[in-house]
Amino acid sequence: MTNVSPETYGQLRARFGDLPDSPLISLAFAYVRDRMPPFLFNHVARCWVFAVKLGAMRNFAYDAEVVAVATLLHDLGLTDHADGPNRFEVNGAFIAAAFVRNHGFDDRRTQLVWDSVALHATPSIGFLKEPEVALCGRGVTVDFGGPDYPDFRPEDIDAVVQAMPRLDMKRQFSGCLCHLARTRPETTYDNIARDFGERYVPGYKAPSWVDRLLGGPFEE
């Protein structure tokens, strides 16, 4: 029978033997498992597996601990544990950075975690940054059928989903973004939540840069 989520960090690593191991990765795994609904936890865990497999496919040289922790923590901004005034990716980035700094990361590695989380939903920028930032974002987009999805064999995708079921992912994830668009629309105007607000939330209207330019305080 398929579990709702892996029973333990060790179980997930037993399923996928190429996953890196460290005390901090184990702590990050437990940290998000305690703070995310099951569908979202399974999502971030799948993204970590996809990121690791992509790193091997591309023969990237990268900091595996940075990628693991950033990918596992990347959606904290969709929970009450990373509430704040910014777009959800940035709220999550600040929490993720504080988490790793409290566990001994130096400024450089902390910055890589911040960038990975803050840019995970902005592939036009994130994919062009350091390997750690790019791998986090690429692992995330695989779980949405993104540009690297065709590089995986169907049986490999099936194995990841079997281990960490999607649990009504499409509807649940859409609900998270619609909730942001409905309750804190000012944080959604320049990120992916805008698309969900415009399609599903009555009365939602993002400001236009055309209006900003043409209605600005300058004469010409």
Looking at residue 144, its pLDDT comes to 97
Alpha-carbon span 176 to 155, nearest angstrom: 29
Alpha-carbon span 166 to 194, nearest angstrom: 23
Q: What value, to the nearest 5°, has the Cα angle with vertex 46 and ends 44 and 48?
A: 70
Looking at residue 8, its pLDDT comes to 85
Look-up of token digits 């649990």: 167
Alpha-carbon span 161 to 30, nearest angstrom: 20
**Where on the phi/psi map is residue 46: left (φ > 0), alpha (ψ -120 to 50), or beta?**
alpha
Global pTM value: 0.95
Does the pLDDT value for residue 75 go beyond 50?
yes
Alpha-carbon span 52 to 153, nearest angstrom: 15
- What structural domains does the chain harbor? 9-167 (1.10.3210), 168-220 (no CATH)
Alpha-carbon span 58 to 38, nearest angstrom: 30
**At how many degrees (to 10) do helices 88-102 and 107-118 cross?**
160
Looking at residue 83, its pLDDT comes to 84
pLDDT digits (tens, 9 = 90+) for 86-122: 999 999 999 999 999 999 999 999 999 999 999 999 9
pLDDT digits (tens, 9 = 90+) for 24-63: 999 999 999 999 999 999 999 999 999 999 999 999 999 9
pLDDT digits (tens, 9 = 90+) for 152-198: 999 999 999 999 999 999 999 999 999 999 999 999 999 999 999 99
Q: Can you count the helices (H) and strands (E) in the chain?
A: 12, 0
Query: What residue type is assigned to position 6 of the chain?
Result: P
